[in-house]
Amino acid sequence: MTTLTTRRRLVIGGAALTATALALTGCGRSADSPDSAPKATSSVGGDPATGNITIWAMGTEGENLPKLTKEFEQANPGVKVTVTPIPWDAAHNKFTTAITAQSLPDAAMVGTTWMGEFADLGALDPTPTGIDTSGFFPGALDTTKVGGTSYGVPWYVETRVVFYRKDLAAKAGITTPPTDWDGLKSMAKAMQDKAGAKYGINLQPGGTGSWQTVMPFAWSAGASITSDDDKQFTLDTPEVQEGLKYYQSFFTDKVAGTDLPPNQTEAQFVSGQVPMFISGPWMVGSIAKLGGEKMKQNIGVFQLPKNKSATSFVGGSNFVVFKGGKNKDSAWKLVKWLSDAKTQASWFKLSTDLPAVKAAWDDPSIASDPLLPVFGKQLDDAKAPPAIVNWEQVATAFDTEVEKMAKSGQSPADTAKAIQTKASSIGTGS
């Protein structure tokens, strides 16, 4: 399998950077009011792209993208694509400064959790009607929508599944991965009782980003984060409490621990100390690097277990065009090209970024992999938080209350109530 490096930690959920770097202000809309629906550009024309297209992209994507866009330039001899790589830790401030100064590029890679803020500031151009979005994974496509309007397209995606040690599962008598909540708990317990694990599964006991593991269980119980219009939080419901109760039970039953050293998931997995965890595809490369080829062969994955549904978290990055861009028409032609299944498959081979377009998963480089198709199946049922301005502040409050629940025994009901109270105080920004 192509190695997926640990840089993925930076891009899940759009960009899970530090709370400081992602602190979102409650700025009002500068150009469009929430009540005036932005109008989409007319359909993307069929004539070749021309002129210079300027792009910002973060991390290794910024470094690799020029290799891909050479193909676009060959197909459109009158165009030149200029890509500026930006470090992830500087990207948010660079974007917001450029929005204020009206000095944005034509297009950019944008973290999914930034969409609400940038749309609220009036910086994003609505997706033209000429771009077919029907082939994207639904959860990924939803990350482009703010107030019912789509801005840009999903570029690459990430989702979470359950990792497990196949050899230790066999020792524990598990021959078929579980498909429901009871089965996951039983498997974790068997890993302790029969396979010698200290803990059956590694679950984050609060702290930065823990909501990304907790919320899928709430979604699977039928919960939602906000009302349909995204104006009110709905984090204190029986469904949210059901997800929290299940999550807490792993710690209460001592099949997950609060005393594990942080950032050592791979080492704990390789040693057999904790042979299960929930995470994304980048962990395959990390485990193989630490444990070698033999350990790589013992990595198994399965979709999140089902309650009412088996919903996971979807993250990644979108590709957007800015309203103030000098070459918007050609920029949208580039975005359309980037959304083609063949282009997405080529990008996977170049970058290991998982395609947002379903058809690209039929490419042999993905379809023949022993693990990746499971992530593709999980993406059929995966969600992200709504694209609201203040989500990162709400996420921080969520993480704090999860830690109280996991480590101090705060009840699921009190945890949900506290999250709702803090979230309502912060507001959605709409």
- Which domains can be identified in the chain, with CATH numbers? 8-158+314-383 (3.40.190.10), 161-313+388-426 (3.40.190.10)
pLDDT tens-digit map of 195-243:
999 999 999 999 999 999 999 999 999 999 999 989 999 999 999 999 9
| Whole-number pLDDT of residue 30 | 35
Q: Determine the Cα angle at 164 with ends 160 and 169, to 5°.
A: 150
State residue 420's pLDDT score. Answer: 98
E strand spans, 40-170: 51-58, 79-86, 107-111, 145-146, 149-150, 153-159, 161-165
Determine which of 18-22, 34-38, 173-177, 203-207 has the lowest per-residue pLDDT on average.
Answer: 18-22
Rg over CA atoms, the chain:
22
Query: At residue 170, does pLDDT exceed 50?
Result: yes
SS3 content of the chain, % helix, strand, coil (to 5): 45, 15, 40
pTM of the predicted protein model: 0.88
Closest CA to 388 of 241, 215, 233, 223: 233
Residue 25, Cβ neighbours under 10 Å: how many? 13
pLDDT at 28: 31
Mean pLDDT, to the nearest integer, of 43-49?
83
What is residue 429's predicted lDDT score, i.e. its pLDDT? 80
Q: Which residues contact 42 (CB under 8 A, 6 or more apart)?
A: 128, 129, 130
> In this model, does residue 61 exceed pLDDT 80?
yes
In this predicted structure, the answer to whether residue 24 has a pLDDT above a threshold of 50 is no
* Amino acid 39: pLDDT: 52
Residue 15 is predicted with a pLDDT of: 36
Per-residue confidence (pLDDT) for residue 130, from 0 to 100:
87
Query: Packing angle between helix 211-220 and helix 391-408, nearest 10 degrees?
Result: 90
Q: Is the model's pLDDT at 187 over the cut of 70?
A: yes
pLDDT > 70 fraction of the chain, expressed in percent and rounded: 90
| 1 contacts 370 by C-beta, under 8 angstroms | yes
Say if CB 405 and CB 224 are below 8 A apart. no
Tell me what pLDDT residue 430 has: 67
- CA-nearest of 213, 158, 151 to 387 is 151
Q: Which residues contact 234 (CB under 8 A, 6 or more apart)?
A: 223, 224, 225, 226, 227, 240, 420
pLDDT higher than 60, residue 10: no
pLDDT of 180 strictly over 60? yes
| Confidence bin at 322 (pLDDT 50/70/90) | very high
pLDDT of residue 27: 32
Paired strand residues for 75: none
Note whether 313 and 375 are within 8 A (CB).
no
- Mean pLDDT in the chain? 90
